[in-house]
Amino acid sequence: MLGLPSSDVTDAIDLLRRDHEAVEDLFDQLEDARESENDEEMATLVASVCSALTVHAQIEEELFYPAIRQLPEAADMVDEAAVEHQMIKDLVAQLEAMHPGDDLFEAKVTVLSEYVKHHVKEEEGEIFPEAKDSDIDLEALGKKLAVRKTELAGEPGAAPPARKSATATKRHARASSRAKTSSRKSARKKKSSQDGLRNR
């Protein structure tokens, strides 16, 4: 099951955000498979993406969105998110009936990735903050989401656990490198400042 195991769930936002990260990694793996022209792996990964998105959308629509819709400022955002879900599900249905090498297969994978990135950006940037600022019991909601996700993940076609792709590994390595560089620069600035004070 993609994302956090049920026993590790802290709240609804945590569970959904980890799902987003897991799907992002699947898309990274897809990019690796595309570059290596590995059609068999692409087919497997597309199936995993489609399954993961289907489960994720369903638990949001059944449990998360109804809870958020009650918030005064969130109804319109939830409506927009639901429309985006439908667009994503339409593409998922098309890809489930296709194979690598089919006309527009890769184009549809690319568009699906772009739709998902846009949806995630809006959800994490707008809906999640509204949920955090509300009096919704996100921990209890997270447990409900985890239970329902486990039920759905046990059904035929559930996505297998994601593995780290080469692209994702490179991304994390670059982030780590930037953090280390920033730390070294900060240390040099601090040392320079201290030396300047001693020389006064």
Per-residue model confidence (pLDDT) at position 156: 52
| 127 Cα distance to chain centroid | 14
Residue 3 in tokens: 């994302």
Over residues 41-47, the mean pLDDT reads 95
Q: Does the pLDDT at position 180 exceed 90?
A: no
Q: Does the pLDDT at position 24 exceed 50?
A: yes
Average pLDDT, the chain: 82
Per-residue model confidence (pLDDT) at position 2: 52
By C-alpha distance, which of 170, 49, 67, 165 is closest to 115?
Answer: 49
Over residues 85-108, the mean pLDDT reads 96
Per-residue model confidence (pLDDT) at position 154: 77
Q: By the 8 A CB rule, do 118 and 149 touch?
A: no
Per-residue model confidence (pLDDT) at position 153: 83
Q: Does the pLDDT at position 91 exceed 80?
A: yes
Per-residue model confidence (pLDDT) at position 168: 43
pLDDT band at 175, cuts 50/70/90?
A: very low
By C-alpha distance, which of 124, 93, 95, 127 is closest to 24?
Answer: 124
Over residues 133-159, the mean pLDDT reads 85
Q: By the 8 A CB rule, do 112 and 84 touch?
A: no
Q: 45-69 burial by CB neighbour count: b if 16+ within 10 A, else e?
A: bbebbbbbbbbbbebbbebbbebbe
pTM > 0.95: yes or no: no
Per-residue model confidence (pLDDT) at position 72: 86
Per-residue model confidence (pLDDT) at position 195: 52
Using a 10 angstrom Cβ sphere, with 0-12 exposed, 13-18 middle and 19 or more buried, the burial of residue 86 is exposed
Per-residue model confidence (pLDDT) at position 39: 92
